[in-house]
């Protein structure tokens, strides 16, 4: 029976971990949030993990 697990990965390497899991055909979920930040006095929309350093994986 498949279950959801929480995987801890290196800080700021969540996307790389998700890509490597996809190559191994492991289903994963990385919740992200879009935020507006000021960069050089201009607003910019950036995406960041909702739970930094954590990735949800679904496997048997």
pLDDT of 29: 98
Q: Considering the domain boundaries, does residue 56 fall inside one?
A: no
Residue 1 CB partners (closer than 8 Å, separation 6+): 60
Please check whether residue 41 lies inside any domain of the structure.
Answer: yes
Cut 0.85: pTM above it? no
C-alpha–C-alpha distance, residues 44 and 52, integer Å: 20
User: Could you tell me the residue range of the domain that residue 40 belongs to?
Assistant: 10-51
The pLDDT profile of the chain, 60 residues, written as one tens digit per residue, is 999 999 999 999 999 999 999 999 999 999 999 999 999 999 999 999 999 999 999 999
In this structure, is residue 60 part of a structural domain?
A: no
Asked whether residue 27 is assigned to any structural domain, the reply reads yes
Non-local (6+) Cβ contacts of 31 within 8 A are 49, 50, 51, 56
Query: Would 5 be classed as within a structural domain?
Result: no
Q: Number of structural domains, the chain?
A: 1
């Amino acid at each position: 029976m498949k279950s959801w697990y929480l995987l801890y990965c290196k800080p700021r390497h969540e996307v790389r971990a998700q890509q490597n899991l996809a190559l191994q055909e492991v289903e994963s979920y990385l919740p992200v949030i879009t935020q507006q930040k000021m960069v050089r006095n201009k607003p910019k929309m950036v995406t960041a993990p909702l739970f930094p350093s954590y990735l949800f994986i679904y496997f048997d």
